[in-house]
A and B are shown apart, each in its own frame.
Chain A
């Protein structure tokens, strides 16, 4: 644990007093449906953390991400719908130690959530963002997460379309529809700006994250939240012609195989009889 993390943990001592997980026995999840969760670290002045996802009431973590630094976002994990606890500890901290911060998350089947540590360290919160999985036909949708302290207020656009105006740290916009295709996202603050080429397929949804630059200024990160097919076929698929179905009219491969097997058997039998006869003849 480095000095910053230690200071961070000390600063958050009141939070540590809260028990990590309520150990009450939660009813088992009976719903068969699943959803998706991804975890993110979007707090610029918070050092790396270990992130734990617990099924509510289960002390064994379902998912653990170690040394998650600022700007890191995990891939989506498919998990059972239900209630979860997300906890963050300083990177390398004992998994049994009290977390720096934790929160409960309710995941509905079919939904996707981004669970992100956001805000300044001093007021660090875990935000649960509901991710949109579908865009209207012929459109893509984009939202913006403002996670930069270098430029705490930004304007963001995709091509000619404005996505956010005067967006404050650490706010998140709703999804807005944009024309699909290649585009460039631009963010500008008072002293710096950044741009990022993006491919926005029709029927896809995206999150643009405004981050502090590696050394100074700002940078942009694009996350594809979900994508579908730009056109959707009607109904099922005719991928069978009946050649293996019972009573195939075309004499069928089974019948053919049976005929071949009979032929082989007959030849074999004839050969055996001949051999038997010849050996009988030799002995005689």
Chain B
């Protein structure tokens, strides 16, 4: 009974308001789309939704705080370039899928299972925190000559007036050779 109470307490997560369905990005050549993200060191095991841009051109956060999402206009994980996966640090009610992202360490492994049943493995290179006002767009989304992965969530202080965290946490990873 108590377990049920706890589950109800953390799983009944609202979102930040109405979210438009992400526009279907043009299919990029290369590897299959990502379906599942697993980070054993954090206990993360989540399906991946497709993310697009909102009206302001910002990356749309996942609709479900307990699931991460892949920026579908960018490279797929395992393809050359910077694949981007974003997830919530928390919902309105409790921890969300990337609650512990800032605790990733260099060398930690990240597994992405793809829609064709294959899995690609990445290793964390670094984890950085940036003020959202100084988000390093080029470093996160800029071209790379290798199959790279960036995991993004929120961090820092929560600004209640804006209903938004002040920082973004970015974990940089590259495909395991």
Q: Which of A's residues lie within 8 Å of B, judged by CB?
A: 36, 38, 75-78, 112, 131, 133-135, 182, 199, 201, 203-205, 224-250, 252-253, 256-257, 260, 263-264
Q: Which interface residue of A182, A203, A235, A263 has the most chain B CB atoms within 10 A?
A: A235
B112 at the interface (CB under 8 A from A): no
Least Cβ–Cβ distance between A16 and chain B, in angstroms? 32
Q: 6 closest A-B pairs (Cβ-Cβ)? A: A199-B29, A253-B94, A240-B154, A227-B81, A245-B158, A228-B143
Chain B residue numbers with a CB within 8 Å of A224 are 80
Chain B residue numbers with a CB within 8 Å of A260 are 2, 5-6, 9
**What is the CA–CA distance of A250 and B79 in the complex, to the nearest angstrom?**
41
B160 at the interface (CB under 8 A from A): yes
Chain B residue numbers with a CB within 8 Å of A245 are 90, 157-158, 160, 165
Chain B residue numbers with a CB within 8 Å of A131 are 145
Chain A residue numbers with a CB within 8 Å of B160 are 242, 245, 247, 249
Give the contacting residue for B58; candidates A75, A134, A201, A238; CB below 8 A. Answer: A238
Q: When A228-B142, A250-B93, A253-B93 are in contact, do A233 and B59 touch as well, CB less than 8 Å?
A: yes
**What is the CA–CA distance of A204 and B143 in the complex, to the nearest angstrom?**
8
**What is the CA–CA distance of A199 and B130 in the complex, to the nearest angstrom?**
35
B: number of interface residues (CB 8 Å): 68
**What is the CA–CA distance of A31 and B145 in the complex, to the nearest angstrom?**
20
B65 at the interface (CB under 8 A from A): yes
Could you tell me if A229 and B75 are in contact, using CB atoms closer than 8 angstroms? yes
Give the contacting residue for A241; candidates B9, B65, B141; CB below 8 A. Answer: B65
Chain A residue numbers with a CB within 8 Å of B87 are 239
Least Cβ–Cβ distance between A226 and chain B, in angstroms? 4
Could you tell me if A78 and B146 are in contact, using CB atoms closer than 8 angstroms? yes
Chain B residue numbers with a CB within 8 Å of A252 are 93-94
**Cβ-closest chain A residue relative to B9:** A256
Segment with Cβ contacts to A, from B10-18, B36-44, B103-111, B114-122: B10-18
Q: Which of B's residues lie within 8 Å of A, judged by CB?
A: 2, 5-6, 9-10, 13-16, 25-26, 28-30, 53, 56-59, 61-62, 65, 71, 73-75, 79-82, 84, 86-96, 98-99, 125, 130, 132, 135, 137, 141-146, 152-155, 157-158, 160, 163-165, 168, 174, 177
Could you tell me if A257 and B6 are in contact, using CB atoms closer than 8 angstroms? yes
Could you tell me if A238 and B16 are in contact, using CB atoms closer than 8 angstroms? yes
Could you tell me if B86 and A239 are in contact, using CB atoms closer than 8 angstroms? yes
Taking A233-B71, A233-B141, A237-B152 as known contacts, 15 extra A-B pairs with beta carbons closer than 8 A to each other, sorted by chain A number, are A133-B144, A201-B28, A225-B145, A229-B81, A230-B28, A233-B53, A237-B61, A237-B153, A239-B86, A240-B153, A240-B164, A241-B91, A242-B163, A243-B96, A245-B90
Chain A residue numbers with a CB within 8 Å of B61 are 237-239
User: Can you list 24 A-B contacts with CB-CB less than 8 angstroms, sorted by A residue number?
Assistant: A38-B145, A133-B144, A182-B29, A199-B30, A204-B143, A227-B81, A228-B142, A229-B71, A229-B74, A230-B25, A231-B25, A237-B58, A237-B61, A238-B58, A238-B165, A240-B153, A240-B164, A241-B14, A242-B90, A242-B165, A243-B94, A245-B165, A256-B94, A260-B9
